[in-house]
Structures are given as structure tokens and as C-alpha cells.
Chains A and B, each alone.
Chain A
Amino acid sequence: MMPPSDVPSQDDIFKQRGAVQADVVQSQVGEAPMEVTEAGEAGGVGGLGKIVWRVFAENKLALVSIGIVVFMLLFCFVGPHVYVTNQTSLVVTSAGQVLAHPSAQYPLGTDPNGYNILGRLMFGGATTLEIALLAAGIATVFGVFFGATSGYVGGATDAVMMRIVDTILSVPTLFLLVVIATILRPSFWLIVLIVAIAAWLVPARLIRGESLTLRTREYVQAVRAMGGGGSRIVVRHIIPNAVGTIIVNATFQLADAVGVLAALGFLGFGVPAPGTSWGQMLSDGITYAQAGDWWLIYPAGVLIILITVSFNYIGDALRDAFEVRLQRR
């Protein structure tokens, strides 16, 4: 059932994704000092961390991106405590409070329900980031275990597990997600789960590929010779040695989760009111924006783009940094 080896597999394509500054970083490879301990147990992580950080820090755009992500986290989670607005109950006190233009009182105006948009961006952003983090976390953990097991066990089990991945991967995800959202009533946790369903396939495939090569290494054979079981090998040896791939992919997962969440919000499958997310804010504001109330959509849209671009830049820089580690081996 294996595809011919010289056809680029899906794994290659996924690795290629955002193969952006690989060539820029190539030139720095030669200067990185040899600090990685003999590959094997996860003990060498201290030195690895240093080397990865050094290459990562050379990428100024990635550093800016980290700054943006930190700012967003502060904005969404600390912001509401500093800039206190009512986002949970409808209290419209005057006609001027509905769809108000940006002013000193409402820096980004208000929406049709009278909610302060600046405060709502924080409130909806917190939901967006929570869902993205949880979904990416669940997808990564599940995908990693699925892929590592599939690759380590091999044979018929591997074939069946990978056909499951192929099947879901070949369905246009948004269709599948909308069907699930139609059948089950969307709630915070259902949305987390739905976004995770779309996301776990890629880490599963990537880690399976890593696992296939890692299981032939001497240290894995050594564990087996000493009587270590399959689950010990997968958890203590294969997964720690694939940590670079896992971290890099998790970053891209975050970016994708924000996108999927926005698309779901646009289609009307978001967290129930009065909760919201950036995607839902955008979607709810479209009709009004076409009548000229730009503040309902552009701030949310810009934030979505900004956070997605940042995660992508960070992922790229991390991948370059971890690739340097691999080349130093």
C-alpha cells in the first residue's frame, strides 16, 4: 500500500509549507557551534534550546511576531481588567449607544447591540485565542500519539490508521465541520472539538513519518533489547526525538485554528451569545459595514490577519531553527 518513495508524499508538501526563509538561514548554518549532545534521550534539550533560540533570534520578523502574540495575549486576557466594559448583558441606555461612531467614549464605536467594540475585541479575542490554543493542543497531542503509534507499530495497523487519516484529509473539512455543527448544537467545547477534528491529521502524518525513521535507530533497538515495551519506546524515545517537528507544527496549527474558527463564525456556527469571537464579530458586522459602519469589521479583520501572520512567521523561524539542529548532527 505504500506509495513509491520518489513521489513527494503529503509530508513533504506539508514541510514545504511556508518554506520561506530557509535559504536565508542556510548561510548561518556553518556558524552555529556544536552543542547538541549525542542524539538519544531527551537529556540534551538544554543545549538544543540554546542553539534553537540563537538561530530563531536572528529572524527579526519572528521576534516582532512574538511581540505581537504577547501583546495580543495581554490585550485579550489582561485588557478587560484594565479597560472594563460590559460584554455579557444588554444594557442600552441611550439611542446614541447603538452603532455609535468611534469617539472618545467609544474608541472603536459600538455594535448594533450597543456593545463597546474595543472591549468586545478583547472579549471575543479571549474566546478566539482560548479555542485556538485548546484545539491546537488537543489536535497536537492526539495527532502525535496517533502518528507515533502508527509509525512504530507498522504493518496492517499502520495501513488502517493512515487510511483513516487519508479519508478525513480528502474531505473538504469545512463541509464536514458544518455538518457536525448542524447536527449538534454549537457550544464552546464543541467548537474546540470541531476545530481539533480538522487539525489533528497533519501532525499525525508528520509524526508517523518521523516515527518510521526513529524506530530503526540504535537507541530504540537498545531499549527493546533491554526489554522496554512499545509504549515506553513511543513515549520516552520516539516522541521526545520528534519534538522539533511537533513544536513547529503546533505553531502552524494555531494559525490554522484561528482561520477555521473565523470561517465557522462566518457561516454562523460560533459560540452562543452573548459570547463571540473575532470571526463572529466580522460576520455579524458585514451588513452594517456595507452601509458604512466600517468599525464593525475592519478592527476584527486586522486582528485575525495579524495573529495568523505572526503564528506563521514564528512557525517558519522555529522550523529553520530546528532544521539547523538536524544539520548539526
Chain B
Amino acid sequence: MIGYLIRRVMQAVIVVLGVCLIVFILYHLLPGGAFSQGRLILGPRASVASIELWIQQNGLNKPIWTQFAILIGHVFTFNLGYSYKLNEPVATIIAQKLPKTVLLLGLAVLVTVIVAIPLGIFQVLRRNKPSDYVLTTLSFIFYATPTFFLGIVLIQLFSIHWHVFPPEAPQAASVGGILADWQALVLPVLTLAAVFIAGFSRYMRSSMMDALTQDYVRTARAKGLSTRRVNYVHALRNALIPIVTLLGLTLPAIVSGALITEDVYNYPGMGLAFYNAAINSDFPLLIGTVLVAAVATVVGSLLADILYAVLDPRIRYV
């Protein structure tokens, strides 16, 4: 187990280094190179000499491998540079935005799990009956719906037609303030969760179906346990284990979905900050947010893997 943990953490570190490399390459693909970045930061009236000084101060004239080493150092000390547009350190901006995105993601994952698992079980118990087919078709449709389109449709229905929920996400500065404005939070969370409910309930359905064909279920039936007990105690507990892995693997997609959702509802999180940075060519913020999103995703997947190992004692890690 310890060996597995160490190996898995090592893999995660390698992946993070790989992400740094990708980001570094992207940074060097930036139009105009170091000089025009200096121009962007120091403004149009800066003299050539002061831009060259800036380049020197930021080490952008050093050999490329030294620069990469500096980037790695910065990443591990959480020094992500300075946003051109917002005039604030990138780390400060991310520290403000990240908890809000984590809140949105957490709520969406919670709703997904709460809805998808019973839905999947329901479909197994009613399999090949009309209700199963209807739910299957529905989940296919939701799975195929682009997140932003779903968001727009929900706004049309719930905000413009029925005036139930506001069309804009909470704009409060603190996480507590966002939670207090829970009505405005309903639509963003629903939008983000809907697509994943579709995928997870399908997976839950096949996982439960698998579990029901196992020998231990037959044994449980043979010794006379009630169907209810067999279904919920023996099959369900085993069917839930792969869901944890799925959660870890879906995390990158959920984070991508958050980018779209935040954009649709103007939710003040990482995704929106990233998107605004992309539009404004605010490269330090852009690169910083990608890096943090990637690292957070890797850590999330790592946690899901470890949880999986803890949950399933049958697995031996050598």
C-alpha cells in the first residue's frame, strides 16, 4: 500500500512537471517574444532601455533551461507573476477565485452523485422496461447537449419565463456571501451537474448490473437473503467502488465544464478569470490559471485513486 502510494504520488509529480513543460512551451510561443511582453507590461511609453532592464530582471535573457528551472521554482513557491490588466499578483487573484470554483465544483459533484446513483440503481431494477428506455434516451440527450446550450435553455425557462431563479450567479466577494445567495447558485450548479449526471447514471447502471452477476450475489441469494438486502447491501456497495475512480477520471472534464458554466452565468471563479485573461491577452494570469487548474485536477485525481485503494480492501498493492 505504502509502495503504491509513493509510486502514485511520484506519477502525479511527473505529470505536474509535464504540465509545467507544456505551459513553458506555450509561453515561448507567445507572439513577439520577451520584448513585446515587456512592452505590454511597462506600457507604450516605456523606453527600449527600460524594457531591456525588465527582461534582464525577469531572467528572460537567460538560457532556455535556466528559464525552465526558474519557472519550476516559481511554481513550487507559488510565485506566478503579475497580471497586466488587473495590476495584482496572479497568486492573489487565484487565491480569491479558487475557493469559489471549488465551491461550485463541489456542489455540482455532490448533486451529481446524489442524483446519478439512485437513478442508475432504479434503471437496473427496472431494466428493459419503458422507464429504463426513457431514462436511457434522456441521459443520451443530456450527454450530447453542450453545457452552454443547456445553461441558456435553463436561463430561458427558469429566469425569463418563470422568474424562479436569477439568470446571473452570485457576485459576492466571499464564499459565505455566495452561499447566502443560494437561489442564484441553483442554475449554475444544475447546469454543471446535468451533463455529468447523464454519464454517471449510465456508468452506475452498468456497474450495478456487473455486480449483480457476481458469484457473491448468487451466494447471498442462495442462502435466502431478501432481494432488497442482496441489492442494497451486497451488490450496491461493490458497485459504488468504480464510481470513485470515475470521479477522479472525470475531474478534468468537470473542470472544463466549470469554465463554460462560469462564463454562461458570470460566476466569479477561476474559469471566468481564465476566460477574461484569454480575451485580454493577459498572459501571466492565463498561464497561472491553467497551471493551477491542471495541478488541482491532478491532485483531485490522485485523491480519488487513493480513496479507491482505501475503499476496496481486495486490492493488493505490491
Is the pair B314, A6 in contact by a Cβ cutoff of 8 Å? Answer: yes
Interface assignment of A30: CB less than 8 Å from any CB of chain B: no
Which of A10, A175, A312 is the most central at the interface, judged by chain B CB atoms within 10 Å of its CB? A175
Which residue of the partner chain, among B15, B140, B199, B256, contacts A163 with CB atoms under 8 Å?
B15
| Complex interface: chain B residues within 8 A of A305 (CB) | 141, 144-145, 149
A163 to B287 CA separation, bound complex (whole angstroms)? 22
Q: B259-300 vs A: 1/0 string, CB under 8 Å?
A: 110010000000000110011010000110110011001100
Interface assignment of A33: CB less than 8 Å from any CB of chain B: no
Interface magnitude class on chain B: 35 or more
A256 to B156 CA separation, bound complex (whole angstroms)? 26
Interface assignment of A95: CB less than 8 Å from any CB of chain B: no
Is the pair B317, A4 in contact by a Cβ cutoff of 8 Å? Answer: yes
Interface assignment of A283: CB less than 8 Å from any CB of chain B: yes
Which residue of the partner chain, among A13, A23, A174, contacts B127 with CB atoms under 8 Å?
A23
Which residue of the partner chain, among B14, B149, B156, B308, contacts A7 with CB atoms under 8 Å?
B308
Please give me the residue from chain B that is nearest to A177 by CB atom: B256
Is the pair A183, B29 in contact by a Cβ cutoff of 8 Å? Answer: yes
Is the pair B202, A19 in contact by a Cβ cutoff of 8 Å? Answer: yes
Is the pair B316, A4 in contact by a Cβ cutoff of 8 Å? Answer: yes
| Complex interface: chain A residues within 8 A of B146 (CB) | 259, 262-263, 266, 279, 282, 301, 304
Please give me the residue from chain B that is nearest to A171 by CB atom: B294
Interface assignment of B255: CB less than 8 Å from any CB of chain A: yes
Which residue of the partner chain, among B7, B128, B245, contacts A24 with CB atoms under 8 Å?
B128
A173 to B294 CA separation, bound complex (whole angstroms)? 9
Interface magnitude class on chain A: 35 or more
A72 to B246 CA separation, bound complex (whole angstroms)? 33
In the assembled complex, the CB of A112 is this many whole angstroms from the nearest CB of chain B, namely 17
| Complex interface: chain A residues within 8 A of B29 (CB) | 183-184
In the assembled complex, the CB of A171 is this many whole angstroms from the nearest CB of chain B, namely 4
Is the pair B314, A267 in contact by a Cβ cutoff of 8 Å? Answer: no
A172 to B281 CA separation, bound complex (whole angstroms)? 20
Which residue of the partner chain, among B11, B149, B301, contacts A304 with CB atoms under 8 Å?
B149
| Complex interface: chain A residues within 8 A of B242 (CB) | 8, 13
Please give me the residue from chain B that is nearest to A311 by CB atom: B144
Interface assignment of A200: CB less than 8 Å from any CB of chain B: no
Interface assignment of A179: CB less than 8 Å from any CB of chain B: yes
In the assembled complex, the CB of B1 is this many whole angstroms from the nearest CB of chain A, namely 10
Is the pair B7, A1 in contact by a Cβ cutoff of 8 Å? Answer: yes
| Complex interface: chain B residues within 8 A of A7 (CB) | 245, 305, 308-309, 315
| Complex interface: chain B residues within 8 A of A279 (CB) | 146
Is the pair B148, A266 in contact by a Cβ cutoff of 8 Å? Answer: yes
Interface locus among B18-26, B54-62, B74-82: B18-26
Interface set of B (CB-CB < 8 Å, partner A) = 4, 7, 11, 14-15, 18-19, 22, 26, 29-31, 127-128, 136, 140-141, 143-149, 152-153, 155-156, 160, 199, 202-203, 205-207, 209, 242, 245-246, 249, 252-253, 255-256, 259-260, 263, 274-275, 278-279, 281, 286-287, 289-290, 293-294, 297-298, 301, 305, 308-309, 314-318
**Interchain Cβ contacts under 8 Å between A and B, 11 examples:** A7-B305, A8-B242, A166-B18, A168-B18, A172-B293, A174-B259, A262-B146, A282-B146, A282-B148, A283-B148, A309-B143
Report the 3 A-B pairs with minimum CB-CB distance, sorted nearest first: A167-B18, A308-B144, A174-B256
